């Protein structure tokens, strides 16, 4: 990981390091790094700070095992602050909270559901409806998407909110199964939409 030279002199030898979850984009914490802590972070791909209270380098998680695994590091325009995108092993805050700002750090439910569906595909589970669809093959999965789409269209013509939303959920669920069956995911579809938007 090649970083541009940072201006440690401007900030008395310590630069702020903002830690952001690489998946959820939640800001997890703010710490400070000297050149040595940054060097260790880059080399080991685990976040190390310089503790102003302990007056030494310390690796986040050295006592709790809640390490922050580096995914990417960005340097700001003034070269005196860094943004580290990381995967946390557990709660980031010493209080036990997900973040030092007391926010819940959780993936969007659709991404969680997509992972569950993918897991059912990779690790079939007896009695699982999702597993049974994968086992019946692509034609059955595609047929279910078609059926759910028709049911949603029918419900759209009425004013029953519960039935309409129920059918919308059924369609989205089966659509995610179809994507997985074809070895695609939501991110692939999002990328297509983003290209069309520009």
Domain with residue 57: its CATH number is: 3.10.20.810
Whether residue 81 sits in one domain with residue 19: yes
Q: What is the pLDDT of residues 43-84, one digit of tens each?
A: 999 999 999 988 999 999 999 999 999 999 999 999 999 999
Is residue 106 pLDDT above 90, yes or no? Answer: no
Whether residue 113 sits in one domain with residue 74: no
> Tell me, what's the pLDDT at 43?
95
Whether residue 116 sits in one domain with residue 74: no
pLDDT level of residue 187 (50, 70, 90 thresholds): confident
> Tell me, what's the pLDDT at 81?
95
Domain assignment present for residue 1? The answer is: no
- Locate tokens 């997890």: which residue? 28
Whether residue 132 sits in one domain with residue 190: yes
Domain assignment present for residue 96? The answer is: no
Cα distances from 69 to residues 45, 52, 63, 72, in angstroms, run 6, 22, 15, 9
Domain assignment present for residue 17? The answer is: yes
Domain assignment present for residue 104? The answer is: no
- How large a percentage of the chain has pLDDT more than 70? 100
Q: What is the mean pLDDT of the chain?
A: 94
* Residue-wise burial string across 141-161, b where 16 or more C-beta atoms lie within 10 A, e elsewhere: beebbeebeebbeebeeeeee
Beta-sheet strand order (sheet of 15-21): 27-33, 15-21, 82-88, 68-75
> Tell me, what's the pLDDT at 132?
96
pLDDT level of residue 112 (50, 70, 90 thresholds): confident
Domain assignment present for residue 18? The answer is: yes
Domain assignment present for residue 145? The answer is: yes
Cα distances from 21 to residues 73, 104, 108, in angstroms, run 12, 12, 13
Whether residue 84 sits in one domain with residue 113: no
| Containing structural domain, residue 13 | 9-88
> Tell me, what's the pLDDT at 68?
97
Domain assignment present for residue 25? The answer is: yes
Is residue 117 pLDDT above 90, yes or no? Answer: yes
Tokens of 49: 């700070």
Whether residue 45 sits in one domain with residue 120: no
Threshold 0.95, pTM exceeds: no
CA 54 to chain centre: 32
Is residue 1 pLDDT above 80, yes or no? Answer: no
Domain assignment present for residue 35? The answer is: yes
pLDDT level of residue 42 (50, 70, 90 thresholds): very high
Whether residue 67 sits in one domain with residue 118: no
Q: The CATH number of the domain where 179 resides is what?
A: 1.10.287.1080
Mean pLDDT (whole number) for 23-42: 95
Report the domain count for the chain.
2
């Amino acid at each position: 990981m090649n970083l541009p030279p940072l201006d440690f002199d401007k900030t008395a030898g310590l630069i702020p390091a903002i830690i952001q979850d690489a998946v959820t984009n939640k800001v997890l914490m703010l710490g400070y790094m000297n050149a040595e802590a940054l060097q260790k972070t880059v080399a080991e791909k685990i976040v190390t700070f310089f503790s102003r209270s302990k007056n030494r380098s310390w690796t986040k998680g050295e006592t709790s095992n809640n390490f922050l695994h580096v995914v990417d590091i960005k340097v700001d325009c003034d070269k005196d602050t860094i943004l580290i995108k990381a995967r946390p092993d557990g709660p980031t805050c010493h209080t036990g909270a997900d973040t030092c700002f007391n926010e819940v750090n959780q993936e969007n439910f659709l991404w969680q559901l997509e992972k569950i569906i993918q897991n059912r595909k990779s690790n079939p589970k007896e009695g699982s409806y999702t597993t049974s669809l994968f086992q019946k093959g692509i034609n059955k999965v595609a047929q279910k998407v078609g059926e759910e789409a028709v049911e949603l269209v029918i419900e759209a013509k009425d004013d029953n909110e519960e039935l309409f939303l129920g059918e919308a959920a059924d369609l989205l669920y089966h659509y995610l199964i179809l994507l997985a069956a074809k070895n695609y995911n939501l991110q692939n579809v999002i990328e297509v939409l983003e290209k069309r938007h520009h």
